[in-house]
Homo-oligomer: A and B are copies of this chain.
Amino acid sequence: MRTSLKKSITLSDVAKTAGVTSMTVSRVVNQNGYVSEETREKVLRVVKELNYRRNGLARGLKRQRTDTVGLVLGDIANPYSAELARSIRDVTTERGYNLFICISEHSGKEDVAAFESLTDHQVDGIIVATRSNRMGDEYLHEMIERGVPVVCVGRDFHDENADTVTADALNGGFQATQHLIDLGHKKIAFIGATLSSGQNLKRFQGYLQALKANNLKIDERLMTGNTEANDDAPGYSTEKLGYEAMKRLLALPNRPTAVFARNDFTAIGAINAIKESGLKIPSDISIVGFDDIPMAMHTYPALTTVRQPTRRQGTLAAEFLLRRVESKAPVELEEKVLECELIVRDSTAQLKR
């Protein structure tokens, strides 16, 4: 039950064989303070010879800082998460911080476990990109109370001392629906309504608002929701949901001429169902997705969708976090809502009359 079979080399080991004190070695290794060129070289030689590596635990304990931030991801299989993680890492790396990612995919209990393992290791701050849930949120408030810098991304959460970055899903849903309406569509279906996630819910609400704003009839038969089992499913698995929901919509006596799917995976599933039925996209049915995953531009036909500014969310979140980490004084709250952008490709067209 040991980290390694051989005991590790410490500063004072190096100091001893170099004939100096550990303080001098520390100065050489961390490149701060004055050390004569002569001793520096001698120390460096011993460091290499003994293959010395500093112990970050001791260092962090002393410095009360680890130069490390944590990211808790709710759905690692989602391209959104990958892009988010990448963009966050770009900022943290540039600013000299390490990034440790934890997964929490199923429950508030896992959220708490991730938060705890991160705070346990004394990370300097945490970015949270999980689905909101009671247990996780409660623990978040506690952590913040304790003074841990926290930023939430793409997630419902409110605390006076935690910044948030989200995309305007409501307006995104509105834009997508309005686009279909502008093309002359009146029977517009929505696939994948869900109550479990505020962000997903808002896409649906945007759809409803657009219908209302245009005085279109709201037909509940055209709105398919998730089964409970699917409500917290990972992104890609909603593809099956899209496929099945589309099958049902196509079987309707008065089928929709356009579909707005809650995310691109769902849209891709729907596309497959439509193709299978022999109908053509976009001439027979138009379809819009949400997220603009990398694959969206490569589907056939290329998917019209709503793009979230994912990279911007990530970099902003990281900047907000580091601002908190590096500030001694209380920091003003940031609650940034970024605009979504409609990306029109080939899956939507004017309604045939």
Most B CB contacts (10 A, CB to CB) among A85, A101, A265, A269 go to: A101
Contact with B along A285-327 (1 / 0, CB 8 A): 0000000011100111000000000000000000000000110
Question: A271 contacts which chain B residues (CB < 8 A)?
Answer: 300
Given A236-B294, A294-B236, A300-B272, also A3-B65 (CB < 8 A): yes
Interface residues of A in 84-100 (CB under 8 A from B): 85-86, 89, 93, 98-100
Residue in chain B with minimal CB distance to A243 = B298
A148 touches B4 (CB 8 A): yes
Contact with B along A222-236 (1 / 0, CB 8 A): 000000000000001
A33 within 8 A of B: no
Q: Could you write out 12 A-B pairs with CB less than 8 Å apart?
A: A3-B65, A3-B325, A4-B148, A4-B149, A55-B122, A57-B61, A58-B61, A79-B236, A268-B295, A268-B298, A272-B299, A276-B300
Interface residues of A in 1-32 (CB under 8 A from B): 1-6, 8
Most B CB contacts (10 A, CB to CB) among A64, A100, A269 go to: A100
A237 within 8 A of B: yes
Q: Which of A113-121, A207-215, A251-259 contacts B (4 or more CB under 8 A)?
A: A113-121
Given A82-B77, A298-B268, A298-B269, also A3-B64 (CB < 8 A): yes
Residue in chain B with minimal CB distance to A144 = B4
Given A3-B64, A58-B61, A121-B121, also A8-B147 (CB < 8 A): yes
Most B CB contacts (10 A, CB to CB) among A3, A93, A122 go to: A3
Question: A79 contacts which chain B residues (CB < 8 A)?
Answer: 77, 236
A129 within 8 A of B: no
Shortest Cβ distance from A240 into chain B, in angstroms?
A: 6
Question: A272 contacts which chain B residues (CB < 8 A)?
Answer: 298-300
Q: Which of B117, B239, B325 contacts A68 (CB 8 A)?
A: B117
Question: A158 contacts which chain B residues (CB < 8 A)?
Answer: none
Q: Which of B54, B86, B275 contacts A76 (CB 8 A)?
A: B86
A195 within 8 A of B: no
Top 9 closest pairs, chain A to chain B, by CB:
A4-B147, A56-B120, A77-B82, A98-B117, A272-B300, A101-B101, A100-B100, A57-B61, A6-B147
A338 within 8 A of B: no
Given A82-B76, A100-B101, A103-B99, also A328-B61 (CB < 8 A): no
Apart from A1-B325, A1-B328, A272-B298, list 16 A-B contacts with CB within 8 A. A1-B65, A3-B64, A3-B65, A4-B149, A5-B330, A56-B121, A66-B121, A68-B121, A76-B85, A77-B83, A77-B294, A86-B105, A98-B120, A236-B294, A239-B294, A268-B298
